[in-house]
A and B are shown apart, each in its own frame.
Chain A
């Protein structure tokens, strides 16, 4: 069975500092990996996705993630965060590629302080 573990429930960071949000997955089959962002009182928005090919994936708002098959990880990074990046971030996995059947991690709340 597939599962997703987000290792940090909360990550406080100062503005302009780098950040890494960690995500590990387990699956017995090939999976496709996603990061979503949820701003306060909003729905979910796709940040980036890994389907195949280059293991370094670039997304919107300056975020990137690296797929590491041997470590079964898909960590999200940004070299310099802004106040506006304050949100909750969800790692998700699907099999077969269609995002219709997603399994989500429990989320990481990123809090960017001035």
Chain B
């Protein structure tokens, strides 16, 4: 079954304690990205990656890091979490073929993070 898997689904942590949210896809997709969802703001892109070792900032990258060492994995790292990073996070993946248009983004189930 094609899927994007995020872990953990729920996480409560304290300010300043480094954490990693994992994301893995089994569809051999080139493109992966992270979004955060906040009430009234919709989904905003944090970082994206077009392939292994290729990452770039989205609209709200401050306070986050990512890495793409393997095609299937795209972890989101919060080195020093703060309360304003309390949010619902989604990982997504899609195929990326130059010039192709009909690709679909697949989303994980989300990770609800609370920073106290």
Contact = CB atoms under 8 A, between A and B. Distances in A.
Interface residues of A, number: 24
Interface string A1-43: 0000010010000000000000000000000100000000011
The interface residues of chain A, by DSSP majority, are classed as loop
Nearest to A9: B40
B109 A106 contact: no
A46 B105 contact: yes
Contacts, number: 70
Contacts of B40: 9, 106
B108 A101 contact: no
A107 B45 contact: no
B51 to A, nearest CB: 11
A40 to B, nearest CB: 11
Interface residue tally of chain B, by bracket? 20 to 34
A100 interface: yes
A43 B105 contact: no
A101 B44 CA distance: 10
A42 B88 CA distance: 11
Contact of B94 (A45, A52, A90, A98): A98
Contact of A100 (B50, B90, B108): B50
A105 B42 CA distance: 6
A90 B105 CA distance: 14
Contacts of B44: 104
Interface of B: 4, 31-33, 35, 40-45, 48, 50, 90, 92, 94-97, 100-105, 107-110
Interface of A: 6, 9, 32, 42-46, 49, 51-52, 90, 96-107
A-B pairs with the 4 shortest C-beta distances?
A97-B101, A100-B31, A99-B105, A106-B42
